[in-house]
Amino acid sequence: MKEKCRHTLEQAYLFLDGEVLSDTERLEIKVHLEECQPCYERYGLDQEVTVIIHRLQGSQRCPESLRAKVQNLIREA
């Protein structure tokens, strides 16, 4: 991955995580994502995941029985 791409995606992820960026920084991200298809696709996927995670944060907790089953599956893998 090119250094410019890496830097742009790092800034974009900060923005997704709620960090305040300057107008200039947001414009640089926007321009790069419009010009770089691989970064645009990666950012789009990560943006969707972030939205889903934020939506689920207020949801009910995972039942303990399900949590235990998942942990067992992970240990066995």
Q: Delimit the domains of the chain by residue range.
A: 3-76
CB 16 within 8 A of CB 47: yes
Beta strands in 8-55 (DSSP E): none
pLDDT above 90 coverage of the chain, percent:
1
| Confidence tier at 60 by pLDDT (50, 70, 90) | low
The mean pLDDT value of the chain amounts to 81
Global confidence as pTM: 0.55
Task: State the chain's maximal CA–CA distance in angstroms.
Answer: 49
pLDDT digits (tens, 9 = 90+) for 12-39: 888 877 778 888 988 898 888 889 988 8
